[in-house]
């Protein structure tokens, strides 16, 4: 038996080993960890490589854990700590702008690959250095895209500000102009990435997103019904649906909200990393006179002491969405993709108030799906109240949310794991002969 055949046989006789490389970006973590847990449940061995604070959470999932050693603590950081505005989102979109420090990520990933004898690599699509490490190691690699599909595509508006497609000369000029404007953060990240690629003995790339064309799979964590793909989709891209937590049940849930009074339950949920207190306060004032029960989830970004809660609202630091969304009639949110997908998975329409980055794109897709409304972050209380009443009272918006729930359910929870397992299957020419 040839040495390569012996290695292949040895790998087929043990559980496949996945290395999952991630970072603390807020909304990217929950779906990544859910997917890691599902790999374990399928019988695979999983090691998560990430920031040190993740160790207890990861080890509770029966995964092994490795901490970054060369990556500076806290890097890469979330892009900004304030509202960016709709137009500026075109220049701060998540097209791998957070790649730096690429070489540190590449070195840590390569070292972890050696220690774990990984068979496959799963990486956050924004970690360009980690993707380069997979290429250097020759390891089957999947990139998790925790946004709607955001790779630049000819004929599509620039990702970020959620512009509508226009076939007119003016629309085409707008798209070409925005696509051609240099983005300082991405330009710097590309220099850093190419320095890392030269160090690894890899050819330079013209854009960080070019690396995605070389990985075995790009897994987009939503559905085609919510995020219509471009006319020509790369062969390695798969829409696998959102990776949502399993239904959550607890007898200890502290929610002083009656379910018998018949008033609609409105859930107000903003970013876990950044939330504008003044925006949330305006939302609370808008719902104060309405015949509704309001649950505000504070997360780590908000403090109840900084807000004036109306009589019909309660605030909790954290409430698992699956515990309350089956009873909710409306979600008011910043339009992070995780919150949007969770609400739609339960057939709940939304009022979206995007603050930054990909949230504008997510909100636009909610409207296109007929599943809610979107407003500017500086919309006055009267406009907010009008939009909330519209979503609560128009059946067509609830119907739109329920259509999205069906498309999400149709994907199932196994599609992403199926694709990762297929990634490890040897090419037909390299299969062992019997």
Quote the pLDDT of residue 80.
Answer: 44
User: First and final CA of the chain: distance in angstroms?
Assistant: 12
Is 99 part of any domain?
yes
Phi, psi of 267 (to 5 degrees): -100, 125
Order across the sheet with 120-124: list the strands: 64-67, 45-50, 17-21, 120-124, 141-145, 217-220, 237-239
Is 331 part of any domain?
yes
Shared-domain flag, residues 167 and 272: no
Shared-domain flag, residues 148 and 9: yes
Residues 210-236: pLDDT tens digits?
A: 999 999 999 999 999 999 998 889 999
Shared-domain flag, residues 290 and 209: no
Is 260 part of any domain?
no
Quote the pLDDT of residue 81.
Answer: 46
Q: How far apart, in Å, are the Cα atoms of 307 and each of 83, 119, 208, 281, 288?
A: 19, 50, 41, 6, 13
pTM for the full model? Answer: 0.87
Quote the pLDDT of residue 387.
Answer: 97
Is 234 part of any domain?
yes
Question: What 8-state DSSP symbol labels residue 237?
Answer: E
Q: Which domain holds residue 62?
A: 3-243+413-430
Strand partners, 293: 265
Shared-domain flag, residues 69 and 203: yes
Shared-domain flag, residues 194 and 233: yes
Spans in the chain with pLDDT lower than 70: 1-14, 73-100, 155, 158, 160-163, 165-185, 246-261, 272-275, 426-434
The CATH number of whichever domain residue 58 belongs to comes to: 3.40.50.2000
Shared-domain flag, residues 183 and 283: no
Q: Which residues contact 337 (CB under 8 A, 6 or more apart)?
A: 27, 146, 147, 148, 221, 222, 242, 358, 362
Quote the pLDDT of residue 249.
Answer: 47
Is 197 part of any domain?
yes
> Where does 20-61 have alpha helices with state H?
29-41, 55-59
Angle, vertex CA 329, rays to CA 391 and CA 302, nearest 5: 95
Q: How far apart, in Å, are the Cα atoms of 74 and each of 27, 71, 101, 362?
A: 15, 8, 11, 26
333 touches 256 (CB < 8 A): no
The pair of three-digit structure tokens given for residue 110, joined into one six-digit string: 């390569």
Shared-domain flag, residues 296 and 225: no
- Say how far apart CA 114 and CA 36 lie, in whole Å: 19
- Say how far apart CA 185 and CA 188 lie, in whole Å: 5
Quote the pLDDT of residue 433.
Answer: 41
Shared-domain flag, residues 227 and 322: no
- Say how far apart CA 146 and CA 161 lie, in whole Å: 17
> How many domains does the structure of the chain reveal?
2
Is 219 part of any domain?
yes
Quote the pLDDT of residue 107.
Answer: 96
Shared-domain flag, residues 212 and 310: no
Shared-domain flag, residues 424 and 340: no
Shared-domain flag, residues 193 and 142: yes
Is 255 part of any domain?
no
Quote the pLDDT of residue 240.
Answer: 97
Shared-domain flag, residues 209 and 288: no
- Say how far apart CA 58 and CA 67 lie, in whole Å: 11
């Amino acid at each position: 038996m040839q040495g390569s055949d012996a290695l292949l046989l040895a790998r087929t006789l043990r559980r496949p080993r996945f290395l999952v490389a991630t970072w603390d970006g807020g909304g990217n973590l929950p779906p990544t960890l859910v997917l890691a847990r599902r790999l374990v449940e399928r019988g695979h061995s999983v090691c998560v490589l990430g920031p040190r604070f993740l160790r207890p959470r990861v080890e509770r999932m029966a995964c092994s854990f490795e901490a970054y050693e060369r990556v500076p603590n806290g890097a890469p950081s979330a892009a900004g700590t304030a509202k960016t505005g709709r137009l500026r989102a075109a220049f701060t979109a998540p097209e791998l702008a957070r790649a730096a420090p690429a070489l540190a990520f590449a070195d840590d990933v390569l070292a972890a690959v050696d220690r774990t004898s990984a068979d496959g690599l799963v990486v956050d699509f924004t970690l360009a250095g980690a993707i380069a490490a997979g290429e250097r190691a020759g390891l089957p690699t999947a990139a998790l895209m925790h946004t709607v599909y955001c790779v630049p595509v000819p004929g599509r508006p620039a990702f970020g500000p959620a512009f509508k497609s226009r076939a007119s000369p003016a629309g085409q000029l707008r798209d070409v102009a925005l696509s051609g404007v240099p983005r300082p953060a991405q330009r710097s990240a590309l220099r850093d990435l190419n320095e890392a690629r030269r160090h690894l003995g890899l050819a330079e790339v013209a854009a960080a997103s070019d690396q995605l064309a070389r990985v075995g799979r790009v897994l987009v964590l939503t559905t085609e019904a919510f995020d219509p793909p471009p006319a020509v989709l790369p062969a390695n891209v798969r829409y696998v649906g959102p990776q949502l937590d399993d239904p959550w049940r607890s007898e200890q849930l502290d929610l002083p909200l009656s379910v018998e009074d018949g008033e609609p339950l409105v859930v107000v949920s903003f970013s876990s990393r950044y939330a504008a207190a003044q925006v949330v306060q305006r939302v609370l004032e808008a719902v104060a006179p309405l015949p509704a029960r309001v649950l505000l989830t504070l997360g780590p970004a908000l403090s109840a002491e900084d807000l004036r809660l109306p009589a019909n609202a309660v605030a909790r630091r954290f409430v698992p969405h699956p515990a309350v969304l089956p009873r909710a009639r409306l979600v008011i949110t910043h339009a992070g993709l995780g919150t949007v997908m969770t609400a739609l998975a339960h057939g709940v329409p939304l009022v979206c108030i995007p603050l930054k980055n990909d949230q504008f794109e997510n909100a636009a897709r909610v409207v296109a799906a007929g599943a809610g409304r979107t407003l500017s972050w500086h919309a006055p209380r009267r406009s907010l109240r009008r939009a909330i009443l519209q979503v609560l009272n128009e059946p067509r918006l609830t119907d739109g949310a329920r259509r999205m729930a069906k498309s999400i359910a149709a994907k199932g929870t196994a599609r992403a794991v199926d694709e990762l397992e297929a990634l490890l299957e040897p090419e037909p020419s390299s299969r062992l002969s019997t």
